[in-house]
Structures are given as C-alpha cells and as structure tokens.
Structure 1
C-alpha cells in the first residue's frame, strides 16, 4: 500500500494492520534501533516485542527463531560460495599481464547476480594496477542478521493487545494464502464478470474453497499429520488410473496408493478406491 493511500485510510479513521517491507524501508531501520531488544516468547515459532510511539503508532516486531536460524545458515552458505567465486576471479585477474577490464567487470557482475551477491558484496577494479579487490558490505550484513526470521507489523489500533494484533494479521495471511491456493488447486482463471450474479457466484466459489481447505487442514491436524491442504491434495494428485482395453470393454486400474496417500485418505475419512474399476462398453 502506498504512503498516500495509508494516510487517506488513517485520515478516515480506518484501522489497519500492515506488514512493513523489511529491506526497502527507512522506517524498518529506525524501528529496529528503538526499544529494548527483549522479546517475549509465546512458542517455539514466535517471539515478539513492541515499540510504541507518542502519536499512537505501534510496531510489533515478530520473530520466528527457527526461521532465523535457517536464514542465517543459508546466508552463510551464500557468502562462502560468493567469496570463493570472487577469490577465484581475483586470482585469475592477478595471473594475467593485461586482463581485459570490461571482461573482468562482466564476470564479477555475473557472480554477484546470484545468491543476492550485490546485497552482500562490492568490488573495485584498479585500472592502473589491473587488480580486483572485493569486500563485504558489513552494514548490510548486520541489518540482514537483525532481519533474520523477522516481520514487523504497523498499526494504530489502540484496543488490541500485541498478541491479538499478531493473530489478526495471521488470520488475514491465512485467507490470502487460501485464495491463492484455491485458484491453483481448482484451476480457476481470472474472470472479468459484468453482472452481479456472476460476481457473487465467483466469490461464493472462493469462500467455499477456503472453507473446504480449512476443514481438510483440521482433519489432518486431528490425525496428527503436519501437512497443509495444498500438500495433501498435491500428494493425492499423484494417484492415477491406467485404462486397458479387452475386446469391447475397458478396465481401469488404479495405481497403488503410497503410504502418504493412504494416510491422507484415512485422515479425511475417505475409503481406499478399488484397484479395478467396473468395465465399460466401448463404442
């Protein structure tokens, strides 16, 4: 949402909960420096702290420790890879009497175009000495470390507790994810409806798909299966039917369900399909 639209919403006294863009916002860098860096842990996947402003603006800094560890590990792997590539290029340049500068720049840019290279490294090519030097962007890396596993919510809502704000945002994120999943799972295309009835029908299908997804996930949770509805449907989608023609009749043979597929079907209280389908007359 643009700054202008946000200001208009607030001027009209609409309450909002927004997630800030982490790396492109001066607001984020400013908030990170404010308040005591002490987080309240609510679970293994969530800890948070709040920064309150005098004008009523509130920031909820939410951190997932498990995601933070994973992102830190991935970044260290990226740094090691990029540094090895740059070191190799540096040695190659040093071994040549008159390396082609444009070619060296092109190779350095190619290296840094992968794994967020430009975010983490910069380089300098000395035209006289024809030497390549590179260095880490320590300030950017320090910011990345602070952002590991973090998302920041912004609101002026005065009544809700921090935990309620987080839950409200998560509920919205679940709905948005469900609608994206619905469009891929049901293979719905974007329609340009011109009548009210068609718009209502389209919205009804969206909401119905969301309801079915949540019912599936609740059934999977009761069966202690750590699967989303999307992954469960993706697993079942691998089941197929082979058709064999015998004379004037065709027989359908259902593929043997995998262990995961059997688990999903059992969790959803769906009986296993017959391996051989009833023959049908051809023609």
Structure 2
C-alpha cells in the first residue's frame, strides 16, 4: 500500500501469496515511477530486512525504514541495543532514541510505555503458567521429565523462559527474564535516509502498523472477513473494498485529529428509537452529545434529523 506522509492511502497492490519480494518491489517501483514523486520512503517489517532487499530499495535515490528483530544474533542489533542514551518523548505513548552503529545506516530505538506494561504483564502470566507446569517435576522420572520438557517446547512463549540444569532438572531462567524485561515496549528501526529526524522515522514506521491495524479492522470491525473467492478479480475487488474503507477512516482521523477507535465509540452512542401509540408511530434520534456535535462539525456533515419518521394511524 502507498500512503502519503499523513498516512492517507493512495494506492494498493495485491499479488499471489507465493510472489517473491524482489518481484513485487520491482513492480511497485515501476508503477510509482510514473507518478514522478520527489521522494519515496519504503516502510517494511523485518521480513524485508535482508541485505539484498535493502540494497535494492536504495536504488534510484529511494530510502527505507525497516523494523528489525530485537531477538537477533546480528552484531549490529546487539550493538544498537547496548548503546546508552536518553529517550526523547514524541507522543504520549512513544519515546525514541537514535544510536550510532553504522556509517551508512541509522538505528532508532522506539519505546512505548503502555506496550512495556503490557509486555511485562504477559510475561508474568507466562512465567506463572510455566512455574505451575514444572512444580514437582524434580520427583518425576527422567523419562517423564523429558516428556514434560518436550510438551513445553511446543509452546514458544513458555519454552523461552525454561532452563534445564546439568542434572536435567527444570527451572525458570531468571537471566532470560531479565533480558526480556530490557526489551519491554521496544522495537528497533533501521533507516537509510540521512535527513529524516528520529521522530519522523518512528512516525513513518508507525504508519505501517496503522495500515496493518486497518486491515484487521476491515476484517473484524466491519466484518469483511476472509472469503474463499474463486476468481482473481473477486479477490482484488475484496482488497479494494477494504482499501476504500481504510481511506475513509484515515480521512476522518486526519480531519478530526482523533483516532478511529474514539470516533467510533462516540458515534455508536447515537441511536434511533421507535415509539408507537394509539395515534401512530414515530422514529426519533437520541440527543447529540458534545463530542458528537464536534465530530459532525469538523467533518462538515449535516447533523441527522431529529425526527426520522412520522406515521399517523389511519382511520
């Protein structure tokens, strides 16, 4: 999906699931070349972070922002996470810190305090669940203990915190817990543009997260769930419908300066009541709250009529 700096989607593509990265990148670059844009910044997740992909994305004066895997053996990633420095707050739930690792690329660590609390809470639950599983395992036979270990290995979230002693006993890995706590609420970005600020890099990557959230919203909130289409044109039509709905959401968000989650919550409180009596039937909307009035005003939408229908009883 192509979006503007403000996050407005302007174009969407879709391919068969087995299409290689290089093929889709080439097509998008060719299509966007016709638009004669002054600058294109590619924003991708860690699936695109191979050196070959990064080199291709930089061709033609383009730049990229790519999310990196924090739990990586890469020397660059380890170096970036070990660098000291102070975070700069750029939003209520976002802090950024740029670290010097490479002469050709920039690395920005982003920290979400709300996300950190959520990560810590999930880890506490996982550790409690793991502790419950291994309690009393010291008394089991070697074979039974091996079976329990094999069962835990099928659950990556639990297995991550499991330690096996030289004697084969199962324990909670406290060193791993400490290492994971250092990653709470964080994600690492790699950028090739020397001119973007650290805040712009973080906001640019957040647009990718917003696009992915938009696709989930289309499938869940609007109930446009995946359908087993038989024809390719129907698949593409389905994607375009999702894209159009996302376009409307983004226009509403940028116009009102609020999130779609809050806007939807306020609008869902607007109801129409149906009243019947001896003289007939009428339908009337509920009184508009102040947030609802402000939304209609910002979007330049006429407020709904208070009296929707009036049907006297025929005599």
What SS class does the counterpart of residue 59 from structure 1 fall into?
A: strand
Could you tell me which residue of structure 2 aligns to residue 120 of structure 1?
161
Cα root mean square deviation, aligned: 4.7
User: Is it true that 1:103 corresponds to 2:140 in the alignment?
Assistant: no
Structure 1 gaps, min length 5: 127-131, 223-227, 242-250, 279-283
Could you tell me which residue of structure 2 aligns to residue 66 of structure 1?
114
User: Is it true that 1:7 corresponds to 2:55 in the alignment?
Assistant: yes
Take 1:217 and 1:58, find their aligned partners in 2: how far apart are those partners? 30
What SS class does the counterpart of residue 247 from structure 2 fall into?
A: helix
CA drift of 1:5 comes to 2.1
Q: Which has the larger radius of gyration?
A: 1
With normalisation by structure 2, the TM-score equals 0.60
CA drift of 1:59 comes to 0.3
2:114, 2:185 within 8 Å by CA — same for their partners in 1?
yes
Count how many residue pairs are aligned between Structure 1 and Structure 2.
254
CA drift of 1:58 comes to 0.2
Residues 243-282 of structure 1 aligned to structure 2 (within 5 Å)? 269=296, 271=304
Take 1:218 and 1:14, find their aligned partners in 2: how far apart are those partners? 26
Take 1:200 and 1:75, find their aligned partners in 2: how far apart are those partners? 41
User: Is it true that 1:39 corresponds to 2:76 in the alignment?
Assistant: no
Could you tell me which residue of structure 2 aligns to residue 281 of structure 1?
none
Note closer, same or farther for the CA distance 1:115–1:265 as it changes in structure 2 (3 Å cut): farther
Residues 44-59 of structure 1 aligned to structure 2 (within 5 Å)? 44-59=92-107
With normalisation by structure 1, the TM-score equals 0.65
Note closer, same or farther for the CA distance 1:268–1:201 as it changes in structure 2 (3 Å cut): same
**2:260 equivalent among 229, 233, 238:** 229
Deviation readout 1:162-220 (Å, 9 max, x if unpaired): 1111122223332332234234426165765459xx968964x4443123213454687
Note closer, same or farther for the CA distance 1:271–1:221 as it changes in structure 2 (3 Å cut): farther
Could you tell me which residue of structure 2 aligns to residue 137 of structure 1?
173
What SS class does the counterpart of residue 147 from structure 1 fall into?
A: coil
Take 2:92 and 2:161, find their aligned partners in 1: how far apart are those partners? 29
Take 1:46 and 1:201, find their aligned partners in 2: how far apart are those partners? 34
Take 1:110 and 1:201, find their aligned partners in 2: how far apart are those partners? 40
CA drift of 1:275 comes to 10
Could you tell me which residue of structure 2 aligns to residue 162 of structure 1?
198
Structure 2 gaps, min length 5: 1-47, 273-280, 297-302
Deviation readout 1:131-169 (Å, 9 max, x if unpaired): x62334344333312211001110110111111111222
